[in-house]
Structure 1
């Protein structure tokens, strides 16, 4: 009996010792798991999770990438990875328990964006009172959404003039943001009021007021590809909606060196999204399918920015050229690509 008790005690001690020695967290393995997010990974790279210590105790490892089970050392491509933030989870199965972890991993584009060379073809006056939030050219007229509380409005005027042909003032509680034209209707966003005003293109009569979808905390810029409304909310995301603002899809915007956020006024030109980055002189040219930044403009030579408010914030297609302006600028610049 004594011998049996000793054996049982020894087995119990062995079990206690083995449990104490078994890792309790990923840090006990000195894993690279939480370092992956800092590695500057790009499409085409391999997803590698490895351990520096206690690897002999691991029975199996489950790697879940964007909700799908993947093998370690899997190449990240368009079939399993999107540009921007991707979700990585891991489950390490041991003898007596399992350890889990989760992190977000930014994925960058494989190719460097290139600088667009341009020349200024012509300069036009711009109504300097307008805090430009939305800006497009249609039927030989400029349409512009101007922001700020108690000053927000929707106007239209001839290029080369500062006299308004039409003007629709918003109530004092509304801060207007971007505007876009789709199927004869102008969609004007508001900053935090969560109202989307829909006007008749010709009369500026208010047709309806839609509410901002919950997926958007606030809205900045809007454009259209002729079928969908494309919206930026100040993050790295760009969203595609139908005319009733039902979400169709979204993309994240990434270049070779960084993920871009604070995307503001936008225009859809020749099947690309042109978007200015708030408080910078850059206009990005974005692939609307992948979110990859393919080219960019540096418009520092045109800047009329003196403070944090009067920044570049207007892009419009104009034949084969583009028009650009900014908040409270006194000029519109017509640019051609060399």
Structure 2
């Protein structure tokens, strides 16, 4: 072997050996590895690798998200019970105290809910829907008038973003307000005698008189990046922005007052789009997929998943997605449609 190559090889091996020894002597978590998925309710061991130069120590304090879990004066593992943990990324820390000094080790776990219930669907009835309506929001009022918000994806007059009242039985547009061309209409919901409508990237929402469509207010977004879906739970507005978050808005001031992360059993779920509030749960389209998820708005857990693949035979491309959920509370009926769909479907869920 060439002497120069041999020396370089020995040097590399020596450096690697030193790095390995350094890593072995570092105070760190052996388990769990950072980013480990943990099902809610599972118990996992917290095991540490102690520095080789520390033969004795005063104590180790284990914590999750800053809350103390246990104190130990030896190196025995601690068992973490996740029964009451919040979903999402949870930061783990261990503080080692010895000889008046302190070292800290960090890791994290991602707590996820159980697998969601799976549903397919049964079509009960279908109704005409404007095939030029780029549907972004959909909701029934107490008189079964359908309110619809559209974006401006298609061309011509029908391409303008709009707010509409629709006779769902015939598809006839009873009343329509076109938005200024600079705005892309998104989700909407009803709050008493008001309609609240989002715009996409303009970071502004509009408030209208429900009967006349006269604009009576507007509001700026807070931390949420964009406007996607919107629903109302009777106390607060719930807003999506295409991420894995649901934001809670004050129903009177429209200020953002908090958010939750949405998770299924595989981790965070993003691309949350059009929303509907039904019997304490948030039903949400997942953008580009013919899937609706059922979310617990208190925990962020996805409790159900509705597979609607194949419901609309004329679906063509990415501008033709499922994107409209409306619930008739009086009749306990669930309706869905999509962007540029010619049909509005009344469906029932079939548990698998």
**Same fold at TM > 0.5:** yes
Quick one: structure 1 residues 180 and 34, their matched pair in 2 at CA, closer, same or farther if it must change by over 3 Å?
same
Q: Establish whether residue 300 from structure 1 lines up as the match of residue 306 from structure 2.
A: no
Q: Establish whether residue 176 from structure 1 lines up as the match of residue 168 from structure 2.
A: no
Deviations 1:216-247 (CA, angstroms, capped at 9, x unpaired): 11121110112210111222221222121233
In the other structure, the counterpart of 2:29 is 31
- Matching of residues 159-174 of structure 1 within 5 Å: 159-174=168-183
Quick one: structure 1 residues 169 and 113, their matched pair in 2 at CA, closer, same or farther if it must change by over 3 Å?
same
Contact residue 24 and residue 49 of structure 2 kept, 8 A: no
More strand by proportion, 1 or 2?
Answer: 2
Q: Which runs of no fewer than 5 residues in structure 1 stay unpaired?
A: 1-19
Count of aligned positions: 313
In the other structure, the counterpart of 1:334 is 346
Which of 138, 141, 147 pairs up with 2:145? 141
Quick one: structure 1 residues 151 and 67, their matched pair in 2 at CA, closer, same or farther if it must change by over 3 Å?
farther
Measure, in 1, the Cα distance between the counterparts of 2:24 and 2:189.
49
Contact residue 32 and residue 47 of structure 2 kept, 8 A: no
- Matching of residues 112-261 of structure 1 within 5 Å: 112-138=115-141, 139-148=143-152, 151-213=160-222, 215-243=223-251, 244-261=253-270
Contact residue 182 and residue 227 of structure 1 kept, 8 A: no
Q: Helix, strand or coil: the match of 1:156?
A: strand
Quick one: structure 1 residues 245 and 69, their matched pair in 2 at CA, closer, same or farther if it must change by over 3 Å?
farther
Measure, in 2, the Cα distance between the counterparts of 1:169 and 1:102.
53
Measure, in 1, the Cα distance between the counterparts of 2:185 and 2:24.
48
RMSD: 2.7
In the other structure, the counterpart of 2:156 is none
Q: Establish whether residue 312 from structure 1 lines up as the match of residue 322 from structure 2.
A: yes
Structure 1 residue 131, shift from structure 2 partner: 1.2
Structure 1 residue 170, shift from structure 2 partner: 1.0
Which of 19, 37, 42 pairs up with 2:39? 42
Measure, in 2, the Cα distance between the counterparts of 1:152 and 1:26.
60
Contact residue 25 and residue 99 of structure 1 kept, 8 A: no
In the other structure, the counterpart of 1:8 is none
Quick one: structure 1 residues 53 and 69, their matched pair in 2 at CA, closer, same or farther if it must change by over 3 Å?
closer
